[in-house]
Amino acid sequence: MENLLFANLTVSKEILKAIEKMGFEEATPIQSQSIPPILNGSDIIAQAPTGTGKTCAFGIPLVESIDTASESIAGLVLCPTRELVIQTTEELTKLSVFKKGVKVVPIYGGQQIDRQIYALKRRPQIIVATPGRLMDHLRRSTIKIDELKMVVLDEADEMLNMGFRDDINTILETVPEDRQTVLFSATLSKEIIDIANRYQKNAIAVKVTHKEITVPTIKQYYLEVKGAKKADVLGRLIDTNNYKLCLVFCNTKRKVDELTDELAARGYSAEALHGDMKQIQRDRVMNKFKRGAVEILIATDVAARGIDVEDIEAVFNYDIPSDEEYYVHRIGRTGRANKTGVSYTFVSGKEMYKLREIMKYTKSNILPFKAPTVSDVEEMKVKLLLEKADSVIKQGDLTKYSDYIDKYINDNDDSEYTTLDMAAALLNILTAGNAASSDEEEIEISVGAERGMTRLFINVGSLDKVQPRHIVEVIASNTSMPGDLVGVIDILDKYSFVEVPAKYASEVIEALSSLDLKGRRLNIEKANTKKREANGDRRKIKKVGRKNF
């Protein structure tokens, strides 16, 4: 069966709206094959490991089937661990955000049972539970499943490995006979088949196959990085390795846009590529990327299909992919034409479980990698400058510049400076070496702003039909700062930079961050990191003020 676009699902507009909010573009293979039969009421037995998007595979039909007027438990999801219960509950809650009245309650060991009993008084329609704790509630009669419509066994093989076979039998014998039974398992052992034969009716078999990856020219690494630090680590990896052409993958369109804006604010030449963009926009972005006018392309899996650029030096899995096949496709974008490539995957917490599944099914060895520090970045900058200096020395006559330094030293008779001191000071200035006092501090220097001015990043640009006067007007109308004090405005395709007097910077950031401009919620922040030369069309307006409009 071909991949099924979420937009083609026969589900309510509330579910489609939730999927859109979650940022998904396209169903994964397991979702494409599982959702239609589950929506039709069929039992299914699906072989699918963790990391294939199976929660939405059963979650979308489950939430769609809920009668919000009912106060009985209609859906039961059994999971082997507390962590998976919590994760599944979060996913189902996101899917039901626009379907008002759907209530989901997690039930697991390790939490006070009195607290769970109190939550059950809310009359939830969906319970996500570990078998052991569910049995406790059944014995106490605090959970009644006599009106259950659907039961889902998630990671059934893991539940059996953990000794829940008897509990599962008891639960499945307690629920109504006419319920729908959905079973997901990474392996289909004899025990799993026995359960399916015993408790399912004419179950449809679904299986997701995995390809072995053979990419000897690609070095594969993973880094344990918390979400808030991902952008920092991404920037440091790019800077320390001096990558010129990179591909960054995110799981959702929203994350693509957010990361593009964040990298732009840090001074990187980055562009987004996802399904919400018109074809002409995608073509323009790809052309810029192919000719090196854009250094970093940030994309979703769907939008990145068909990318064939031989010189991509590194692939970053900013989000761990939702399906192992996506990992294969992603990292295969580098190391082409027998060239050496490298991939980095960011993981944290429970995502390590997904990473192990990727290694298992792709039969690849993904090695741990330590994130570079600020000192590492500075060291690389110094190294590159010294290499450039070496090249300049070999290429030309530097007598004029030597004379400048000699004259300065000779004119300051009381100075004990040497030419080496001067060289070190100039290197310090070029690398902003005095800006960071420890590895954990950011290098914060002005981004081309005039003295007394602060340069700000704004996440709207010419594609949003923003003009200089709009930026001046929104500042002057919502802050105490006069419009004629606005400095240089740079408008690029998807974002802009504006200079304001330093004393007004905090006020402008605070006032504008809660506003909309041209139908888009503003994200405004200081452009504090040293800016690389931005590529693409832009207009530069000197000293644009309110009086000019």
Mean pLDDT is lowest, of 77-91, 170-184, 535-549, for: 535-549
Kindly tell me the burial class for residue 139, based on how many C-beta atoms sit within 10 Å of its own C-beta (0-12, 13-18, 19 or more).
exposed
Decide if 446 is inside a domain: no
- The percent of residues in the chain predicted with pLDDT above 90, rounded, is 33
**pLDDT, tens only, 372-396:** 887 777 777 777 777 777 777 787 7
Task: Tell me what the mean pLDDT of segment 268-290 comes to.
Answer: 85
In this structure, are 528 and 486 located in the same domain?
A: yes
Asked if residues 225 and 348 have their Cβ atoms less than 8 Å apart, the reply is yes
In this structure, are 365 and 326 located in the same domain?
A: yes
Decide if 294 is inside a domain: yes
Q: How confident is the model at residue 5 (pLDDT cuts 50, 70, 90)?
A: low
Decide if 28 is inside a domain: yes
In this structure, are 407 and 318 located in the same domain?
A: no
> What is the CATH number for 361?
3.40.50.300
The H or E element that residue 272 is part of is strand 270-273
In this structure, are 15 and 156 located in the same domain?
A: yes
Task: Tell me what the mean pLDDT of segment 350-362 comes to.
Answer: 84
Structurally, the chain folds into a number of domains equal to 4
Decide if 441 is inside a domain: no
**pLDDT, tens only, 95-129:** 999 999 999 999 998 888 899 999 999 899 999 99
Decide if 314 is inside a domain: yes
In this structure, are 341 and 418 located in the same domain?
A: no
Question: For residue 159, which of 142, 135, 125 has the smallest C-alpha distance?
Answer: 135
In this structure, are 57 and 191 located in the same domain?
A: yes
In this structure, are 139 and 12 located in the same domain?
A: yes
The residue type found at 382 is V
Question: Among residues 207, 229, 258, which one ends one of the domains?
Answer: 207
In this structure, are 278 and 314 located in the same domain?
A: yes
Give yes or no for residue 21 having a pLDDT over 60. yes
**pLDDT, tens only, 299-347:** 988 777 667 687 899 999 999 987 777 888 888 888 765 577 899 999 9
Coil/strand/helix, residue 250: coil
In this structure, are 255 and 368 located in the same domain?
A: yes
Q: How confident is the model at residue 484 (pLDDT cuts 50, 70, 90)?
A: confident
In this structure, are 120 and 187 located in the same domain?
A: yes
In this structure, are 98 and 156 located in the same domain?
A: yes
Question: For residue 354, which of 372, 342, 366, 343 has the smallest C-alpha distance?
Answer: 366
Full domain range(s) for residue 102: 6-207
In this structure, are 148 and 10 located in the same domain?
A: yes
**pLDDT, tens only, 491-545:** 887 888 898 998 888 889 988 887 888 888 888 888 754 344 344 433 333 334 3
